[in-house]
A and B are shown apart, each in its own frame.
Chain A
Amino acid sequence: MTTAAPSVPAVPKSARRRLLRFEQRGMPYALISPYFLLFAVFGLFPLGFTLWVSLHRWRLAGEKQWVGFDNYSFLLTNERFWNATGNTLGIFVMSTIPQLLLALAIASALNKRMRFRLAIRLGILLPMVTSVVAVAVVFSHLYGTEFGLFNWVLDLFGVDNVNWRADKLPSWFAISSMIDWRWTGYNAIIFLAAMQTIPRDLYEAAAIDGASPRRQFWQITVPQLRPIIIFTVFVSTMGGLTLFAEPTMFGSGLYGGGTAGQFQTVAMYIVQAFRQRNNYGLAAAAAWLLFLMILIVALINYLFVNRIRGSR
């Protein structure tokens, strides 16, 4: 026993050292590797495979034939695809602009001293917690033509029944209201968090110089929030352009988006192409076009929002 004692730690000593070296050099890579592995499996591979499929006439339990860019040229000359693109952009503009402005206003209001501040701040986030589908189901009832609550209210003011699904603008309005109901609070909380990091002395100095609260808001708060505004615009762009659940539920769970595709978004067009048309090639090509569209719109938004400047 006594002779063995010194030799025992000798073996693990070098092993431990090796392990220690691995911990120092390899550990960071090992720790971030799950993200990259998962991204490769669930992000990169599908992206590449989708591109491959989009260059084929590809049917499940059917032919897989190379067709080059045929699917893309079909889409670019397809009336229904352009209609879906227009709807997507239309609903995006109609929902995002009021949503972000409203969120700014709410955040600025919540940034003031008030009673029950915590309860109100939590309350504004509540719609986020509800499921998209539940929201869409409830709103779809509210926007019913014959038995809906909104038409009943309009009726009290002597306005005729609006068929919310029959035309583009009413249906876009209805869908935008669902999106805004859910996401305005989320953006407001993000803005609020950012507002609280703005140094107080900026406002104090402005107040001493005689700037009105309104002027302080536009010339201090908004410019200081710029990085956060860019972030929310990016997130809203991605969410808005891949819009699917709300318009689908609004149209009784169908992918057609109304009788003439009044509110069919590109995401719905993609799902319709492979679920109902069994045309995976076309769906894949449309998905790639949507991807490019998001990049372009995000870039435009970035350039636009980047122009926000305050006088310093």
Chain B
Amino acid sequence: MQTTFGRGRRALLAATLAAVVAAGAVGCSSGDSDEDAGGEVTLVLNTFGGGTAFAYDDVIPEFEAANPGIKVDYRIVSERFDDQFRPQLLQWLEAGSGAGDVVGIEEQGIGELMALPEYWTDLTQYGLDARKTDFPEWKWNLGVDADGKLAALGTDVGGMAMCYRKDLFEKAGLPTDRAEVSALWPTWEDFTKVGEGFKGKAGDAKFIDSPNTIYNVRMIQEAGAADGLTYFDQQGGYILDKTPAVRTAFDYVMELQSKGLLAGLRNWSDEWNAGMLSGGFATIGCPSWMLGVIQGNSGEENKGNWDVASVPGGSGNWGGSWLGVPTQSEHPEEAAKLVEFLTGKQGQVGAFKKGGNFPSSVSGATDTEVKAAVNPYFSDAPTGQIFGDSVASFKPVYFGKYHSAVRAVVEEVILGIIEGTYSADEGWGEFVKQGKQVVDEMGG
């Protein structure tokens, strides 16, 4: 009896010690082994995004077939870039491991990440500077880091169009054909007038979805038409209060609000999603990726109710990504090869066919298949043509190091004015002040 008891206790002791050791081991476990036994190289490609994300599922097998000896581990790490993937990426860069061989960078974070040149491989040494003529100048330049070296190449681009509800337009006695609708609003003043004509004629439906969608569309377009600056200048100075594009877009949203044309919903909220389904509003500013969002939220019963027209002011862009190679990659040469392929015509067109991500390269955007693409959900709108035109005439916009953080906060102020938390009079002052507070919190 004594011995069994003792053995039982010993077993307990052993189990406890094993648990401690195991806990310690879990804390230390790490490392992606990226070289297989056969000398084959496995590249880790870290990306983000909802739905089909970068939509590389079909093109990666093509790359692997063309490059025997290289395997690609394609990962979608998280759904959102700004508050999930970006901090994770910074952590990997700091730790010196985990980032893999190729990483995706979204428009909002490109300024911040390109300000950290020590973490990026110079892609010129692998001959990728030869690709320069294939990209619009602005897309190319955003991938050049603070040291002036080529650190990232563009993948897709948002472009800009205006999506509208044909059924609501019909109720309000407006034309529904996309060419006629586009002709209704060559300028933003015309757009406002159409909205005033729409108001009250289609039940409770409002003309525009959300203050911040329209704010972004207008602000980026105005900035592109001017010097390309929004919240920060090239030296990192906070210039939100002095940028005409910002003020114009801000005032425009206030004008739309005073005329009662905004549904006043927070974009990406459940109510905004519900509004798409139930026809709560008639228009949404539409980058190419927004089509997928609308289709997902509006459901099968609204197929054919939506259509795509051109955006007032003609051009625009919202969103788009880049691919870069961190210096911690052990296979920079193969990684550069993968970047070249994915940002090249074959990679971009393949991603467009899979997920609708519009090609940012000239050769990709002018590809015959892309140009001829139509979207059956959106009444067979020729989306390839519409987004191609909007991207071709788009002018560059510069994103500072702290852009995304400031943006998140000032857009809250706009919503606050719409919801009545701030009066319209104190709105602009609050807008400028809260943006500045973010800069202070980030450490100046």
A residues whose Cβ falls under 8 Å from a Cβ of B: 19-20, 23, 27, 30-31, 33-34, 37-38, 41, 57, 59-62, 74, 78-80, 140-141, 144-147, 163, 165-167, 252, 254-256, 258-260, 262, 273-279, 281-282
Contacts and interface: CB of A to CB of B under 8 A. Distances in A.
A62 B116 contact: yes
A259 B412 contact: yes
Contact of A277 (B6, B116, B421, B441): B441
A30 B409 CA distance: 52
- Measured as residues with beta carbon below 8 angstroms from the partner, the interface class of chain B is 35 or more
Interface stretch (B19-27, B160-168, B351-359): B19-27
A147 B276 CA distance: 13
A10 to B, nearest CB: 17
Given A59-B443, A61-B94, A146 B421 contact: no
A260 to B, nearest CB: 5
Contact of B271 (A34, A41, A59, A145): A145
11 contacts: A23-B10, A34-B20, A38-B20, A41-B27, A141-B270, A144-B270, A144-B271, A163-B419, A166-B416, A252-B266, A254-B408
B125 to A, nearest CB: 22
B161 to A, nearest CB: 25
B119 interface: yes
Nearest to A23: B9
Interface string B278-311: 1010000000000000000000000000000000
Interface in B64-108: 82-83, 87, 90-91, 93-94
Contacts of A62: 116
A166 B416 CA distance: 7
A260 B412 contact: yes
B438 interface: yes
A85 to B, nearest CB: 15
Given A57-B443, A259-B419, A279-B442, A252 B268 contact: yes
Nearest to B82: A276
Interface in B5-31: 6, 9-10, 12-13, 16-17, 19-20, 23-24, 27
A274 B87 contact: yes
Contacts of A78: 437, 441
A121 to B, nearest CB: 34
Given A144-B271, A259-B419, A276-B408, A282 B9 contact: no
Contacts of B280: 146
B429 interface: no
Given A38-B23, A256-B409, 13 more contacts: A23-B13, A27-B9, A31-B12, A31-B13, A34-B19, A60-B93, A146-B265, A146-B275, A165-B419, A256-B412, A260-B416, A276-B405, A279-B443
B204 to A, nearest CB: 9
Top-5 shortest CB links A-B: A259-B416, A60-B90, A166-B419, A61-B93, A259-B415
B17 A260 contact: no
Given A80-B437, A166-B420, A33 B20 contact: yes
B441 A140 contact: no
Contact of A260 (B16, B119, B269, B421): B421
Given A61-B93, A259-B416, A278-B87, A166 B274 contact: no
Interface in B385-411: 404-405, 408-409
A61 B420 CA distance: 39
Contact of A23 (B6, B116, B421): B6
A145 B272 CA distance: 11
Contacts of A281: 443
B245 to A, nearest CB: 22
Contacts of B442: 277-279
B270 A140 contact: yes
Interface string B36-76: 00000000000000000000000000000000000000000
B271 A146 contact: yes
B93 A27 contact: no
A34 B14 CA distance: 12
B275 to A, nearest CB: 8
Contacts of B408: 254, 256, 276
Contacts of B415: 259
Nearest to B84: A275
B74 to A, nearest CB: 24
B335 interface: no
A277 B405 contact: yes
B413 interface: yes
A252 B212 CA distance: 15
B422 interface: yes
B17 A30 contact: yes
A260 B422 contact: yes
B82 A19 contact: no
Contacts of A273: 441
Contacts of A147: 271, 274, 278
